[in-house]
Amino acid sequence: MSGTTPKSKDRHQEILDAAARVITDRGLAETRISDIAEEAGVSPGLILYYFDSKDRLLSEALTYANDQFYLRMSREIRRIPSARDQLARLIDLSVPGLLPEYGRLDEWALWIEVWVRALRDPEMAKDREFLDQRWRGQIADIIRGGQASAEFSSEQTPEELALRLASLIDGLAIQVIMEDSQVTPEHMRGTCIDVAARELGFEREPVST
Amino acid sequence: MSGTTPKSKDRHQEILDAAARVITDRGLAETRISDIAEEAGVSPGLILYYFDSKDRLLSEALTYANDQFYLRMSREIRRIPSARDQLARLIDLSVPGLLPEYGRLDEWALWIEVWVRALRDPEMAKDREFLDQRWRGQIADIIRGGQASAEFSSEQTPEELALRLASLIDGLAIQVIMEDSQVTPEHMRGTCIDVAARELGFEREPVST
DNA sequence: CCCGCGTTTGAACGACGGGTCAAGCCGACC
DNA sequence: GGTCGGCTTGACCCGTCGTTCAAACGCGGG
């Protein structure tokens, strides 16, 4: 925010950010180095000065963006006291387009690109597994907390419950981001909460908001 | 099976089949027209004789392959009398790599490519929505059948239950196809059955393999 | 003020691959 | 057995990038 040019403060990050933005709205396949350069406000040559190749840059950008999302979410969740509210917030943050702060294509669009890449690129596959397990771990932690405070009850392990919830969220988010006419963001939210309530053994709130 | 060359029987289909195979194991991004030509055993020029452009061919191939899968599954399900068994079979067919007849990369790999494309290509988006709703419709039909025969009981509509199940399957299948170390095909199967049993109000079989 | 080096530029190179096309092939039908 | 027309071929054209590179820039230290 100060007057200093961000300059080499971290060109690396600037470029990653620009890349993530471009990928988000053009798609990985339609992303050229020159697009990223333009978005970052630098020359194409500079991109390759900071990254060995386009491929590496793209991979880094994908994991970087997901990392950002996770950290933001994680920080926010940690401040919420009740496990039930934590879970509700996590769900809200997971529903594409529910919160106004995003456009139609949010992190989920990037996430799908990660999947495609991870199918053939072992490096990407490793990163994906790490990110995904961390994400499920986050959910499992919330569940463990809820079990400890007796907010939740279930005969399943937190890990199994987290997997179920995470998978449901993934599957629904895909429908929502695709703008399936039968699956609106609000519908997704309701379904997630409902399944969570059933699996974790708590009652749904009488509807707030 | 007869001695006649399949020739122009349906070159169109031959090419679509070849395309689907190539996309499955190289990925959409790495699929060249010449690859498809080679796989189909014809010259590159011929591909464009039958299809207006590479793009159209790829789109058609993706929906074609998914269509094939659906029809095969649908036909098989129809012959099973019990709704519970129908559902179990549907789940088995949905788990990547569970049945021996497939390699690691099966229809799911294509399906992810469909998602990526559908995000920006309206034509593909329309096709995807149709295919997905048909798939969920199939599940809903099974559930309706089970409710009619009193095998299932639930306060939710068949459509909502189908959405939950389909989404769970999507989410889990992604993990499985990515070879996530925590989600094996068998694990996915167990989780799907378990959730289905809970949501639909029936008891799991005592394990029959 | 000047040097030196990390940064930045953008023109140029070269590979790659989609799409075109003129020419052959071949079976059907007369 | 000739001719017509749909199939098929593969060489070629041409635009589009990823990547390279020599030159310029500009800041910090001497």
- pLDDT tens column, A154-181: 989 999 999 999 999 999 999 999 999 9
List the alpha helices (DSSP H) in B119-206. Answer: 122-148, 158-177, 185-200
In this predicted structure, the answer to whether residue B209 has a pLDDT above a threshold of 60 is no
Among B105, B129, B183, select the one facing A119 at the smallest CB separation.
B105
Bases of strand D lying below 7 A from some protein CB: 6-11, 17-22
Instruction: With beta carbons less than 8 A apart as the criterion, state whether B98 and B185 touch.
Output: yes
pTM: 0.93
Digit-coded pLDDT (tens) for A20-79: 999 999 999 999 999 999 999 999 999 999 999 999 999 999 999 999 999 999 999 999
Digit-coded pLDDT (tens) for B34-54: 999 999 999 999 999 999 999
Query: Does at least one atom of strand C sit less than 7 Å from the CB of A42?
Result: yes
Helix (H, G, I), strand (E, B) or coil at A16: helix
| Contact B198/A at CB under 8 A | yes
| Contact A166/B at CB under 8 A | yes
For residue A102, what are its two tokens? 């995003």
Digit-coded pLDDT (tens) for B169-200: 999 999 999 999 999 999 999 999 999 999 99
The number of C-beta contacts closer than 8 angstroms across A and B is 118
C-alpha to C-alpha distances, B127 to A70, B50, B55, nearest whole angstrom:
32, 21, 15
State the Cα–Cα distance between residues B175 and B171, nearest whole angstrom: 7
Residue that wins the pLDDT comparison between B1 and A101: A101
State the Cα–Cα distance between residues B163 and B149, nearest whole angstrom: 21
pLDDT at residue A7 in the model = 46
For residue B199, what are its two tokens? 């949501």
In this predicted structure, the answer to whether residue B6 has a pLDDT above a threshold of 70 is no
State the Cα–Cα distance between residues A204 and A190, nearest whole angstrom: 10
pLDDT at residue A11 in the model = 94
Region B81-89: what's the mean pLDDT? 97
What secondary structure letter does DSSP report for B199? H
| Band of pLDDT at residue A1, cut at 50, 70 and 90 | very low
| Contact B103/A at CB under 8 A | no
